Amino acid sequence: MPGGAGPVTRLGCPPAIPGRADVDLSIDQPVRLTVDDVSHTYRGGREALRSVSFEVGAPVVALLGPNGAGKTTLLRLLSTAEPVQSGGIRIGGHSLSDPYGRTVVRRRLGVVPQGSPIREGLRCRDFLAYVAWLRDVPAQNADREVARALDAVELSDRATDRVKTLSGGMKQRLLLAQALVGAPAILVLDEPTVGLDPRQRHGLRGLLARLAHDVTLVIATHLVEDVAALAGDVVLLDEGRVGFCGSVRELVGGDKGDPVTGAQVEAAFLERTGTPVL
């Protein structure tokens, strides 16, 4: 195990789960998400989610809303980092309220939290090898998994470089690579393009679009350009409630043959909520 790596939960890695040998880990693509009357309240009485219900099944699902709308809370529930307090969530037909269902989902889940730290002194390859160890990837498969993840995010040529030598965009791609270790069926990403310059953001969007051919993406964002460029389905959250659920084209209206723009998404959001997407 490479030394000096941070705690697993800060990397977005689900904890190792001693599953049964006969667990069926198959989840069909695109993964269908069903959220049924989910509410979530934090200590002190703050309601983050209020009777949230929706069902989506596109290769890329965007959770759109202003800061404080409940996007991150919903992602934490979807990624099993928080227990479901009220209501139910099913991912690929598996209930997160059922221990067996959680086992299946966790084994097929990759998570990219916002602002996750990486030990700067680690080499990229060693960082991913550590993640593979945390996820119980068999030792004989670890090198292949690390190479596959680096190749998927176009960082194969930086495998032996230390994290501190990477640009901000490359570090974000490395965090995406750690989520790909173990061949997940679904990736959950919290504001993946925040903090990147326009060129880095454009490159990461292209990478996510390519990954969506094989993995279902659930992306929480307040950047309307991300929604316009990537999303098939959109769940609009405002003050912990669902303000809209449907395709991005249904959200903005207009001619189906025209590409959706960020300006259209922002206008539709303002019309439905009266709140700027900030």
Q: In this model, does residue 10 exceed pLDDT 90?
A: no
* Residue 190 to residue 112: CA distance in whole angstroms: 6
Nearest to residue 40, comparing CAs of 95, 86, 96, 90?
A: 86
Residue 266 lies in a domain: yes
Q: Which of 161, 184, 207 is the last residue of a domain?
A: 184
Task: Find the mean pLDDT for residues 82-100.
Answer: 94
Candidate from 29-33, 74-78, 252-256, 258-262 with smallest mean pLDDT? 252-256
Beta-strand relationship, 216-221 and 186-190 = parallel
pLDDT given at position 92: 93
Q: In this model, does residue 3 exceed pLDDT 80?
A: no
Q: In this model, does residue 24 exceed pLDDT 70?
A: no
Q: In this model, does residue 21 exceed pLDDT 50?
A: no
Residue 55 lies in a domain: yes
pLDDT given at position 66: 84
Same domain, 154 and 230: no
Residue 12 lies in a domain: no
Task: Find the mean pLDDT for residues 82-96.
Answer: 95
Q: In this model, does residue 278 exceed pLDDT 70?
A: no
Residues 6+ apart with CB under 8 A from 274: none
Nearest to residue 42, comparing CAs of 72, 73, 64, 63?
A: 73
Q: In this model, does residue 106 exceed pLDDT 70?
A: yes
Q: Which of 152, 184, 216 is the last residue of a domain?
A: 184
At 9, is the pLDDT very low, low, confident or very high (cuts 50, 70, 90)? very low
Task: Find the mean pLDDT for residues 62-72.
Answer: 90
Same domain, 201 and 272: yes
At 277, is the pLDDT very low, low, confident or very high (cuts 50, 70, 90)? low
Same domain, 164 and 66: no
Residues 6+ apart with CB under 8 A from 22: none
Residue 167 lies in a domain: yes
Same domain, 257 and 277: yes
pLDDT tens across 120-171, in order?
Answer: 999 999 999 999 998 889 999 999 999 999 999 999 999 999 999 999 899 9
pLDDT given at position 272: 85
CA 142: distance to chain centroid? 23
17, 55, 66, 110, 267 from 245: Cα distances, Å: 33, 8, 16, 24, 16
Nearest to residue 248, comparing CAs of 274, 219, 211, 214?
A: 219
* Mean of per-residue pLDDT scores for the chain: 87
Same domain, 177 and 199: no
pLDDT given at position 275: 66
Same domain, 165 and 63: no
Q: Which of 184, 210, 231 is the last residue of a domain?
A: 184
Residue 21 lies in a domain: no
pLDDT tens across 213-272, in order?
Answer: 999 999 998 889 999 999 999 999 999 999 999 999 999 987 777 889 999 999 998 888
Same domain, 278 and 222: yes
Same domain, 157 and 202: no
Q: In this model, does residue 67 exceed pLDDT 60?
A: yes
Residue 186, SS3? strand
Same domain, 143 and 258: no
* Residue 59 to residue 30: CA distance in whole angstroms: 5
At 196, is the pLDDT very low, low, confident or very high (cuts 50, 70, 90)? confident
Total number of domains constituting the chain? 2
8, 122, 176, 272, 275 from 113: Cα distances, Å: 12, 19, 10, 28, 25
Q: In this model, does residue 204 exceed pLDDT 80?
A: yes
Same domain, 136 and 257: no
Residues 6+ apart with CB under 8 A from 251: 234, 236, 244, 265, 268
Exposed (0-12), middle (13-18) or buried (19+): which is 208, by Cβ within 10 Å? buried
Domain that holds residue 146: 117-184
At 28, is the pLDDT very low, low, confident or very high (cuts 50, 70, 90)? confident
pTM of the predicted structure, to 2 decimals: 0.86
- Angle separating helix axes 168-180 and 198-211, nearest 10 degrees: 20
Candidate from 16-25, 65-74, 138-147 with smallest mean pLDDT? 16-25
Q: What is the 3-state secondary structure (H, E, C) of 122-150?
A: CEHHHHHHHHHHHCCCCHHHHHHHHHHHH
Residue pair 235/245 in contact (Cβ under 8 Å)? The answer is: yes
At 26, is the pLDDT very low, low, confident or very high (cuts 50, 70, 90)? low
Same domain, 130 and 264: no
85, 91, 213, 217, 218 from 32: Cα distances, Å: 21, 6, 15, 11, 11
Same domain, 39 and 93: yes
pLDDT given at position 222: 85
Q: How many other CB atoms sit within 10 Å of the CB of residue 261?
A: 15
CATH number at residue 218: 3.40.50.300
In our burial notation (b when 16+ CB lie closer than 10 A, e otherwise), range 178-188 reads bbbbbebbbbb
Phi and psi torsions of 37, nearest 5°: 55, 50
